Chain A
Amino acid sequence: MMKQDLNVEQPAVILGDLSHRFVTPSGEMMDVLQDVSVTVREKEFFTVVGPSGCGKSTLLNIASGLLQPKSGTVRRLKGDRELEKLEIGYITQDSNLFPWCTVLENIMMPLEIRRVPKRERADRAREWLKIVGLEGFESHYPRQLSGGMQKRCSIARTMVYEPEVLLMDEPFGALDAITKATMQKTILDLWQLRQTSVMFITHDLTEAITLSDRVAVMTGRPGRIRRTVDIPLERPRDVFNITDLEIFRELRHELWNLLETDLES
């Protein structure tokens, strides 16, 4: 908890009054986001949950800079400095590794783009390989890895360039329950180690509570923020047993109710 207390007021991602709409294939306008305001604090683990189709991913795409909102402001900060695009890490549900590159080459890729000297590239990539537990697999190709290991590799590939802000769009959605829990532990350890600000998208309430400092609940389309809930659970958290806690169940109940109000209407 201590590290959050240091930076409570310092924002890392500010999304102000965002609205966005798509044109559907049939030519109709579809409002996806309506007046969404979110502030992710520095070094905070912030999660957005919501029913499917509520615009969570759109929100993250806007936060990443891949998508321009129709209206509203987007700021990514480190102190008073605006972050550059390259300082933002983005992890999606698909691992999207390069099948023709080995695990090590995949992890080195962002460093190559940033023109890091060759020797340093390999050293830094090896270090992350170790951190995510892929030691001994550096010469393997992605298709020789399990889904969980591919995920680890893609996390290492994102973390290797030390992003200030980490955006994750249902990163563990495609994994089995056991691998998912292990990956949640990995990501929490990394987050604690690297002190990154995280904006995480999921539709899994258990995952949201397990990982986050705060959880924002979105309404159905057009997505709005219904409420943001504090998760006052101690850190470090035991991802495997945390669901047994009474307070966990209460939080889950609270979040579920927030979602349900929307499903009924």
Chain B
Amino acid sequence: MDAMSTGTGADVGGQEQLTMRGGRAVRQKPKGRRRGRRAMLIALGQLGVVLLILGLWQLLSGRVIDYFLISNPVDVVKKLVDVLGESEMHRNIMATGQELVLGWALGASTGAVVGWALGAVRIVGEIMEPILNAINGIPKVALAPMFLLWFGLGIGSKIAIASMIVFFLVFFNVYSGMRSVPQPLCEVARAMGGSRMFVVRKVVLPSVSVPLFAGLKAGVSFAMIGVIAAEFISADEGLGYYSMTSTQQFDPSGLFAALAIIVAMVVAGSSIIGVFERRALRWQRN
């Protein structure tokens, strides 16, 4: 068989290619412009809704609803600026941040590994899945008091709760992802002569990374739930502890300032993961 080089037959199918390209070029422009206008409208709409809520909040506070129940946006912002300059708040942010990151990382890594293992070894997966499902049925926050007993009043119990919640989330995502790896693609890779490792690298990994990233991203806010709930029960630092004490001291501005920081942390965390996700799942985008 001669070397394939010569490149004759380069025109095969050239026509289809041209029309496709032409069709795309013609279609894309107006679509792009319309999409831009739509995005603008959505952004403006969202800004409007937020302003409306803040306005109502400011207006109703102290008039219809007692001030000590809801404070008002202006005072919350003032409070936020104040506390962000205080070292006490820095300590709280650091504490919650640490618990969040460690809890998330521990839960995500164990969840991914166990999900992968149970997905790969079918029989063990089928034994374990219903059991894990049952355990998952427990509202994890209800276990917080027990975890305090086991892991102490410090950072350990907060990490334990957060990681347990994240574990189940990531586990189920990866496990079900392992079971829906497209089999025909595995067969194609094998038929090409690919080793098991090759199939894992080229088919299983990219296909599982879709639900994995979804789990990792959602895991941030779930981890925060665990951390804050554990801090509510017993802590001497952290944003959950701070919002608890603010409430007890009838300082709604402090509570809302803490909430704002919590939200900002969650948004920041999931955006960081989003960056990696977009890079890894580039093939999914338009």
Write out, one digit per residue, whether chain B residues 176-202 have a CB within 8 A of any chain A CB (1) or not (0): 000000001100110111110010001
Give the docked Cα–Cα distance between A133 and B16 (Å). 8
Chain B residue nearest to A124 in the complex (CB): B4
Q: What would 13 A/B residue contacts be, using CB atoms closer than 8 Å?
A: A94-B184, A98-B203, A100-B206, A102-B283, A109-B192, A110-B192, A113-B193, A113-B198, A131-B10, A164-B1, A182-B13, A193-B9, A194-B4
Chain A residue nearest to B4 in the complex (CB): A162
From residue 115 to 131 of chain A, which have CB atoms closer than 8 A to chain B?
Answer: 124, 127-128, 130-131
Write out, one digit per residue, whether chain A residues 131-159 have a CB within 8 A of any chain B CB (1) or not (0): 11111110001010010110010000001
The verdict on A172 contacting chain B, using a C-beta distance below 8 Å, is: no
Smallest CB-CB A-B distances: 3 pairs: A133-B13, A100-B206, A100-B283
Q: Are A96 and B17 CB-contacts (below 8 A) given A185-B12, A195-B1?
A: no
The verdict on B7 contacting chain A, using a C-beta distance below 8 Å, is: yes
Q: Which residues of chain B come closer than 8 Å to A141, judged between CB atoms?
A: 283
Give the docked Cα–Cα distance between A133 and B15 (Å). 8
- Whether B185 lies near A98 (C-beta < 8 A) is yes
Taking the closest CB of chain A, its distance from the CB of B169, in whole angstroms, is 23
From residue 13 to 62 of chain B, which have CB atoms closer than 8 A to chain A?
Answer: 13-17, 20-21
Give the docked Cα–Cα distance between A100 and B280 (Å). 9
- Whether B20 lies near A149 (C-beta < 8 A) is yes
- Whether A109 lies near B202 (C-beta < 8 A) is yes
From residue 199 to 222 of chain B, which have CB atoms closer than 8 A to chain A?
Answer: 202-203, 206-207
Q: Are A127 and B7 CB-contacts (below 8 A) given A66-B191, A94-B184, A146-B20?
A: yes
- Whether A136 lies near B21 (C-beta < 8 A) is yes
User: How many contacts A-B (CB < 8 Å)?
Assistant: 92
Write out, one digit per residue, whether chain A residues 193-227 have a CB within 8 A of any chain B CB (1) or not (0): 11100000000000000000000000000000000
- Whether A127 lies near B9 (C-beta < 8 A) is no
- Whether B20 lies near A131 (C-beta < 8 A) is no
Q: Which residues of chain B come closer than 8 Å to A131, judged between CB atoms?
A: 7, 9-10, 12
Q: Which single member of A86, A161, A193 contacts B8 (CB below 8 Å)? A: A193
The verdict on A85 contacting chain B, using a C-beta distance below 8 Å, is: yes
Please report B residues at the A interface, Cβ cutoff 8 Å. 1-2, 4-17, 20-21, 184-185, 188-189, 191-195, 198, 202-203, 206-207, 281, 283
The verdict on A242 contacting chain B, using a C-beta distance below 8 Å, is: no
Give the docked Cα–Cα distance between A149 and B17 (Å). 8
Q: Which residues of chain A come closer than 8 Å to B207, judged between CB atoms?
A: 100
- Whether A101 lies near B9 (C-beta < 8 A) is no
Q: Which residues of chain A come closer than 8 Å to B206, judged between CB atoms?
A: 98, 100
Q: Which residues of chain B come closer than 8 Å to A127, judged between CB atoms?
A: 4-5, 7
Q: Which residues of chain B come closer than 8 Å to A136, judged between CB atoms?
A: 17, 21
Give the docked Cα–Cα distance between A193 and B3 (Å). 11
Give the docked Cα–Cα distance between A152 and B12 (Å). 10
Give the docked Cα–Cα distance between A127 and B4 (Å). 9
Q: Which residues of chain A come closer than 8 Å to B12, judged between CB atoms?
A: 131-133, 185-186, 189-190
The verdict on A99 contacting chain B, using a C-beta distance below 8 Å, is: yes
The verdict on A249 contacting chain B, using a C-beta distance below 8 Å, is: no
Give the docked Cα–Cα distance between A100 and B10 (Å). 27
Chain A residue nearest to B184 in the complex (CB): A96
Q: Which residues of chain A come closer than 8 Å to B1, judged between CB atoms?
A: 162, 164, 194-195
Q: Are A130 and B4 CB-contacts (below 8 A) given A66-B191, A98-B185, A109-B192?
A: no
- Whether B9 lies near A190 (C-beta < 8 A) is yes
